[in-house]
Structure 1
Amino acid sequence: MKLYSRPLSPASQKVRLVLTEKKLDWERQDVDLPNKENLEAWYLEMNSLGMLPTLIDNGHAFNESSVICEYLEDLHPDPSLRPVDLILRAKMRWWMGVVDDRLHYSAGAVVWPVMMRPALLEMSAEEREALLSRIPDRARQVRHRRWVEHGVDNPDFKQAVLVYRDTVQEMERMLSEHKWLAGNSFSLADCSLLPYFQAIKQMGWSGLYTSHSRVLDWFDRGQARSSYQAQITEQIPLPLLEKFQAVGAEFNQLLMETVTSAA
């Protein structure tokens, strides 16, 4: 079993959490995103959209992180990360859908214009267009062009901040009913959401959730798990974390103003 991954990719992180929680034997190969290794022919052969992660198992390539997580749960059901109760299982899948349909896109929309855009602006227009045109997903091409052109002034940025706000509010309500997102046991739902809180924490944007005590407690407990320590906390070099937080500090006020102005 081999996972093509990236240390700071939230979608990769959630699969690594599942692999580690289940204590499986697996091999990892990191894909060099800054140098667009994910757009090389060898990788596109496994994942036609050039997205991370990709899992190879018994000669089969699996794309889409939620699909991979469910596959691993089906293949290795012990220890279980899926509730037995059908209502809680439905809640688990609902939260996984929140990530797939809203939060994954929103994390990119708030972080990408801040962290990735500067490097693209240093390129010539021709170099930049040549790079963007290699992205197989046309919708992603359009988004990235928009984010390069407008930075945090693009409408996706504000909408993404509000998605985070709304998600945190819904989590606060749901966590009043049980310890974890889909019951009193840690599940695929928690594996799915934790990396997207890491994405904003490492930018210094924890103000998006710290006023919600249940969410803060949930995140603290998630970070304390050995799987989180091994696959997320220990994967972030201190100099890189300091860079993220320095850049993120420039935009923290804008984020919080966006939240309060739309309240």
Structure 2
Amino acid sequence: MILHDFPLSSASYRVRIVLNLKGLAYEKRNYALRAGEQRAPAYLDVNPAGLVPALETDGLRLGQSLAIIDYLDAVHPEPRMIPADPVARARAMEMALTIACDIHPINNLRILQYLEHDMAQDKPAVDGWYRHWVEQGFATLERLLPDTPFAGGDAPNIVDACLVPQMYNARRFKVDLTPFPRVTDMADRAGALAAFAAAAPPKV
């Protein structure tokens, strides 16, 4: 099993967490995103989107972190990341997608580079953009999170796998977390678990 990765990619970080939680061995291949290595023809054969992560396993090449997590749940169902119960599944996906669709895509590296290079925005403006969308998403999660030890319930699931990397980046960009005590508490509780800690990027 090969994970095409970049340590600071929050989408890749999600997949590393899930692989660790499931106890799956894998090989990492890292790409320097700012240097454009993910757009090299050889990598585009693996993932035509030119993004990380991508997973190669048993002849399958798969991009998109949530698709990868769904696949891993199907072939390695324990511990389960996406609940089987329809209501619990819908709630988990609502929260995971708040991060994966409402926060992350408009804050990932290619968007920040576009703002900086193509739109001629300075670093304070770009960082302000980043913080704005994190704050919007975290405000939603603060209301959605259940009264349980983890965002996923009694044990971490796909929500925690999305939340912990987003919290890591929120701190990198100095988001004021004071209005989001439940989000912060749940992210920190999950992040302290061994599977999460082992997936974390190096200190930057």
TM-score, structure 1 length as denominator? 0.69
Answer whether contact 2:167 2:184 (CA < 8 A) is retained. Answer: no
Structure 1: gaps (5+ residues) = 118-141, 242-263
> CA 1:144–1:55 in 2, change beyond 3 Å: closer, same or farther?
farther
- The 5 A counterparts of 1:1-263 are 1-108=1-108, 113=112, 145-147=117-119, 149-152=120-123, 160-203=130-173, 205-207=174-176, 209-232=177-200, 235-237=201-203, 241=204
How many Å apart are 1:179 and its aligned residue? 3.0
Partner Cα separation in structure 2 for residue 223 and residue 97 of structure 1: 19
Partner Cα separation in structure 1 for residue 3 and residue 96 of structure 2: 20
Q: What fraction of aligned residue pairs are identical, expressed as a percent?
A: 25
Partner Cα separation in structure 1 for residue 146 and residue 48 of structure 2: 41
Question: Higher helix share goes to which structure?
Answer: 1
Moved more, 156-165 or 218-227: 156-165
Runs of 4+ with deviation above 4 angstroms: 142-145, 156-160
Structure 2: gaps (5+ residues) = none
Amino acid aligned to 2:97 = G
Answer whether contact 1:46 1:54 (CA < 8 A) is retained. Answer: yes
> CA 1:144–1:67 in 2, change beyond 3 Å: closer, same or farther?
farther
Answer whether contact 2:3 2:56 (CA < 8 A) is retained. Answer: yes
Answer whether contact 1:91 1:182 (CA < 8 A) is retained. Answer: no
Aligned to 1:244: none
Amino acid aligned to 1:85 = D
Answer whether contact 1:89 1:182 (CA < 8 A) is retained. Answer: no
Determine which structure has more spread, i.e. the larger CA radius of gyration: 1
What are the superposed Cα offsets for residues 28-56 of structure 1, whole Å, 9 maximum, x if unpaired? 11112232211111001111121001100
What are the superposed Cα offsets for residues 218-258 of structure 1, whole Å, 9 maximum, x if unpaired? 121022011121110xx314xxx2xxxxxxxxxxxxxxxxx
Name the Cα RMSD after superposition.
Answer: 2.4
Number of corresponding residues = 204
TM-score, structure 2 length as denominator? 0.87
